[in-house]
Structure 1
Amino acid sequence: MHTSRYALALSGLLMTGAAFGQVAPPATGTAPEPAAPAPPPAVPTPTKSAPYGPGMKINLSPDGSKYLRFLTWAQMWAQYNENNSNTIRNGNPRSDQTTFGIRRARLIMLAQLNPRFLTYIDLGIENQTALSGGLPNDPNGTGKRSPNYIHEAVAEYKVNKYLSVGGGLNYQVGVSRMTAASTATMMTYDIPVTNFPTLDQTDQFGFFLGFYGHGRIGGFDYRVAIDDAFATNTAGNSLQLTTANPTGLRTNVAQFNPRNTNKIYQGYFSYSFFEKEANLLPFTTGTYLGTKKVFNVGAGFHYNAEGTYSRDQDYVINPGTHTHDIKLFGVDAFYDAPIDTTSNTALTLYAVYYNYDFGPNYVRNAGLLNPGSSVAVGSTGPSNLYGNALPLIGTGHSYYAQAGLLLPKKLLGPKARLQPYVAYLRNEWEGLHDTSGNRKSVNVYDAGLNLLLDGHNAKVTLNYRARPDFSDQTFIPANNGAATVNSVQYRPEVTLQLQVYL
């Protein structure tokens, strides 16, 4: 029995194996086409580079609330300049010249490790040419080794959403919007300089040492500050001019007071009617190139008690001086908005009025990247009106306006843009009179064109300036301290600027 069972089981297994092992006969007809090969994986398209609007940012936390930011820009100039009368360069008289220079090279490092705490440092150089801008005592020449120095060094604490307070070497300044101008986003090739009334006198190249508060309440922005007055270098004090004055002294002419120890109080207040502007940093934008619709009006002030002094008119007989308070005020308006969103055209307008009081007959002459070095021997005018210098700051009134138009985006292709602009500056200083005894106005005309290769990040600017030559002056004691401007000639000035801003 057992043997029969094993035989039956073995027979069943063999039959099952035979059934599974059978192969089906091949189908009749044509064989099917082979399957098409799978396509290769697509190569990913490289991502576009991120814009540099906020600068180069290194996140220190996953959400980006803790970060380091770096902003840097450089502006290089090539300039043709017809010089003021009696200008010399390296001991040789020069009527005109073409020069090269570094207008600015700057780096800002900003850190925020907590939403309430902020610190930043701004360093760099300005105004280096082959003639000047370097170390003043360099035995190899004053144009070499331009010193890299700190412009700003600030620590700031955010009290609440309406107020932040800070201190250090800061740019929270008064008088006007343009007094805190961002030099990397200017529409014109440069600032008018009149917007920096105490430049390198009681400030350090437009920056002040003190404490400040700033913030925004609705559409109202404000900044106020209390600062120390930097000690004034009196080496070039114009009170010690001139041979045209029989006494050898200028009287009834204000100059910065070397004994000034009083605080500087300043502030600026503005109201935004449309979009609000960023106010984390103090720099104000010159033109948004159609990316914002902004209309702001503002007013500011700057006060420094006994900031200047002057000699009495009868100084030789009764030696004595008077101190004067520095009182500066400004009102301005800024409009920047798209005209047509399809063509991406935009209009930029800015206007400001300044009322400056430095004391009697104060006038300061200055020139941007001045290509001259002195005046010829025998000149009767001021010794600092060489090259491209003109009366830019003083006691009196000043008016400045600029207008620019961003042309359609398809004019030069998808990337490059054109932005023509014009600007006008009019200064009416009480220390400058014509031969009839009336105030002699200083009028400066600018017209230029921006070639925007990548917005403000890469642009080329060509500017033409008609500049008044005020070097034909005399000082007569009977004029009560004012200079007599005998004649004014207009000199051409052409500047080509290359800017890269990252």
Structure 2
Amino acid sequence: MKIRLAKPGHMIFPNAYASTNKPYRALRRLFFLLALLFCLFYQGQAQRIPLRFYLEKDSSSYAGLRLTGQVWMRYNQNNPGTLINGEPSPGFFDISVRRLRFQTYARIREKTNLTLTLGQNNINYLTARSGEIRLLDFYVDHRLHRNLTVGGGQSGWNGTSRFAAPLTSKLLTLDVSPFLIPTVNQTDNILRKLSAFLAGQAGAWDYRVVFSRPYAPVENTAPVPDSRFAGLKPGMQTAAYVKYQFFEHESLSPFHPGTYDGEKKILALGLGIEKQNRAMWHLNAASDTVTSAITLFAADIFGELPGYNDKAWTFYLGYFYYDFGPNYLRVIGFNNVGNGTNERGTFSGTGNAWPAIGTGHTGHFQLAHTWKIPGRTEKIQPFVSGQYSVYEKLQEPVRYLEGGVNLLFDGQRSKVSLAFQNRPVFDANPVGSLVQYQRRTAVVLQYQLRLE
């Protein structure tokens, strides 16, 4: 079998989003070895040339590798009452691996594709020394027609909105707003679901329909007046997303990039929905258990408009309506630094958590400007994003802000980001209503590496 480099411009099989036990050890070591060989092989060569092993002389069958990782150094102003290993901690500095992905993919006779991804999120001082690596993606798809691809397995194919399955190694902002991935690690595995899907493109249209069997919910608790995930036989989950592309067309992939670094002219208008019956339960006024559906709806627009002198504007704007049943609200802190609270604790919980996902309405935006550093190949990309949510359970809206700058050494292949995050702290007032009590911040320095 000969090993040949792909020619620039050849299409790469779509990337995947992406986190141990003994069955995975051999596979994990193989990935590390291949990643090391990859780095040595590509030393001094352009990263735009993918590593592929061609299996046929006509290049119709091949296999390839990808490696992505994000390292964080962060100072977090903790929520009131936060405990770290039993000690009060108003603030904390930590170093963590926010995401790690090892992916191999194969194409067989131009129509059949196989994707395997191992990875993990949030490897920090609280995760001990296990370094657990999860099986994230394992799915196959086949192109039945130039306008239709079908597939199945555990994958990130999803609906609702553009960033219901974000390509996290090509984000515009530092991180994903939690509400964009509303059932993350509840009935899925870091977004991935056991599902079958149909997807395709016809003219300017891009469409997908996904049928999933959700995992058993993590929070398998008894019903209370506020809606929770139900400990019942789950209903089938159905999701769909369709977008219309006005200029250049994006590749067909389960994951959507947040930016193309000003190298494409994109304007895409999208509409999505997700539904799952018997997903939630709660107690009514008569203390009877009532089951309800999850119904999620979103409309969004994404654009990247290059200008003169290698400059570009990138933007995203979306409206979201989520119905998880009465008063559902999820407090979540990605890569959380806290592991407990004392008597000063608030409704927002420990560390960097905040009420991010719930039944109600949300508006979200992202905006960035990109330009090349004069006389150099690196690019600067300042960005800002925000979330404004009106949730049933809260008496005041949720406002979350993130701003910062990306320094693109080699596009998303080598990137440094410095970001400032500002989040609300909610707690009950004297009459028991949940209102904004304070605000807290975090400053994060990230380095990202993306090899493929």
**How far did 1:415 drift?**
2.2
The AA in structure 2 aligned to 1:331 is: A
Alignment partner of 1:194: what SS? helix
Kindly indicate whether residue 292 of structure 2 is the aligned counterpart of residue 324 of structure 1: yes
Other-structure match for 1:450:
406
Kindly indicate whether residue 154 of structure 2 is the aligned counterpart of residue 169 of structure 1: yes
The AA in structure 1 aligned to 2:412 is: H
Q: Deviations over 1:20-46 (max 9, x none)?
A: xxxxxxxxxxxxxxxxxxxxxxxxxx9
Other-structure match for 2:186:
201
Alignment partner of 1:230: what SS? coil
**How far did 1:499 drift?**
0.3
CA contact (8 A) 2:120 2:133 kept: yes
CA contact (8 A) 1:84 1:385 kept: yes
The AA in structure 2 aligned to 1:401 is: F
Other-structure match for 1:119:
114
Alignment partner of 1:198: what SS? coil
Alignment partner of 1:64: what SS? coil
Alignment partner of 2:256: what SS? coil
Other-structure match for 1:353:
319
Alignment partner of 2:93: what SS? strand
The AA in structure 1 aligned to 2:336 is: N
CA contact (8 A) 1:373 1:386 kept: yes
**How far did 1:491 drift?**
1.1
**How far did 1:83 drift?**
0.6
Kindly indicate whether residue 381 of structure 2 is the aligned counterpart of residue 419 of structure 1: yes
Q: Deviations over 1:22-74 (max 9, x none)?
A: xxxxxxxxxxxxxxxxxxxxxxxx99723347x42222223322111111100
Relative to structure 1, is the Cα distance of residues 389 and 475 closer, same or farther in structure 2, using a 3 angstrom cutoff?
Answer: farther
Other-structure match for 2:27:
none
Once residues 351 and 106 of structure 1 are traced to their aligned partners in structure 2, the CA distance between those partners, rounded to angstroms, is 28
Alignment partner of 1:146: what SS? coil
The AA in structure 1 aligned to 2:408 is: L
Match of 1:335 among 303, 324, 336: 303
Larger radius of gyration: 1
| Higher strand fraction (1 or 2) | 2
Identity of aligned residues (%): 30
The AA in structure 1 aligned to 2:410 is: D
Other-structure match for 1:290:
262
Relative to structure 1, is the Cα distance of residues 305 and 414 closer, same or farther in structure 2, using a 3 angstrom cutoff?
Answer: same
Other-structure match for 1:372:
338
Other-structure match for 1:491:
440
Other-structure match for 1:263:
236
Alignment partner of 1:184: what SS? helix
**How far did 1:288 drift?**
0.7
Kindly indicate whether residue 123 of structure 2 is the aligned counterpart of residue 128 of structure 1: yes
Once residues 82 and 364 of structure 1 are traced to their aligned partners in structure 2, the CA distance between those partners, rounded to angstroms, is 21
Match of 2:67 among 63, 72, 85: 72
**How far did 1:314 drift?**
4.3
Kindly indicate whether residue 386 of structure 2 is the aligned counterpart of residue 391 of structure 1: no
Relative to structure 1, is the Cα distance of residues 380 and 489 closer, same or farther in structure 2, using a 3 angstrom cutoff?
Answer: closer
Q: Deviations over 1:323-355 (max 9, x none)?
A: 011000001000012111xx2111100111110
Other-structure match for 1:430:
392
Relative to structure 1, is the Cα distance of residues 306 and 344 closer, same or farther in structure 2, using a 3 angstrom cutoff?
Answer: same
Other-structure match for 2:45:
49
The AA in structure 2 aligned to 1:390 is: W
Alignment partner of 2:186: what SS? coil
Once residues 345 and 78 of structure 2 are traced to their aligned partners in structure 1, the CA distance between those partners, rounded to angstroms, is 17
Other-structure match for 2:364:
400
**How far did 1:427 drift?**
1.4
Relative to structure 1, is the Cα distance of residues 106 and 399 closer, same or farther in structure 2, using a 3 angstrom cutoff?
Answer: same
Once residues 486 and 163 of structure 1 are traced to their aligned partners in structure 2, the CA distance between those partners, rounded to angstroms, is 48
Relative to structure 1, is the Cα distance of residues 156 and 486 closer, same or farther in structure 2, using a 3 angstrom cutoff?
Answer: closer
Relative to structure 1, is the Cα distance of residues 48 and 323 closer, same or farther in structure 2, using a 3 angstrom cutoff?
Answer: same
Once residues 232 and 222 of structure 2 are traced to their aligned partners in structure 1, the CA distance between those partners, rounded to angstroms, is 16
Once residues 263 and 58 of structure 2 are traced to their aligned partners in structure 1, the CA distance between those partners, rounded to angstroms, is 26
Alignment of 1:178-327 (within 5 A): 178-234=163-219, 237=221, 251-279=224-252, 281-315=253-287, 320-327=288-295
Alignment partner of 2:351: what SS? coil
Once residues 467 and 262 of structure 1 are traced to their aligned partners in structure 2, the CA distance between those partners, rounded to angstroms, is 34
CA contact (8 A) 1:233 1:258 kept: no
Other-structure match for 1:8:
none
CA contact (8 A) 1:215 1:222 kept: yes
Q: Deviations over 1:446-496 (max 9, x none)?
A: 1100011111000000001121112x23697xxxxxx72244211121001
CA contact (8 A) 1:380 1:473 kept: no
Once residues 104 and 93 of structure 1 are traced to their aligned partners in structure 2, the CA distance between those partners, rounded to angstroms, is 28
CA contact (8 A) 1:52 1:457 kept: no
**How far did 1:285 drift?**
1.3
Structure 1, unaligned runs of 5 or more: 1-45, 133-142, 240-250, 434-439, 477-482
The AA in structure 2 aligned to 1:127 is: N
Relative to structure 1, is the Cα distance of residues 238 and 379 closer, same or farther in structure 2, using a 3 angstrom cutoff?
Answer: farther
TM-score for both structures, normalised by structure 1: 0.79
Residue-pair matches, total = 410
Alignment partner of 2:233: what SS? coil
**How far did 1:253 drift?**
0.4
**How far did 1:197 drift?**
0.8
CA contact (8 A) 1:184 1:501 kept: yes
Other-structure match for 1:473:
428
Once residues 345 and 432 of structure 1 are traced to their aligned partners in structure 2, the CA distance between those partners, rounded to angstroms, is 41
**How far did 1:258 drift?**
1.0
Other-structure match for 2:15:
none
Structure 2, unaligned runs of 5 or more: 1-41
Q: Deviations over 1:281-339 (max 9, x none)?
A: 31111111121100000011110001000022343xxxx21001100000100001211
Alignment partner of 2:234: what SS? coil
Higher relative CO (CA 8 A, sep ≥ 6), structure 1 or 2? 2
Relative to structure 1, is the Cα distance of residues 92 and 344 closer, same or farther in structure 2, using a 3 angstrom cutoff?
Answer: same
CA contact (8 A) 2:424 2:436 kept: no
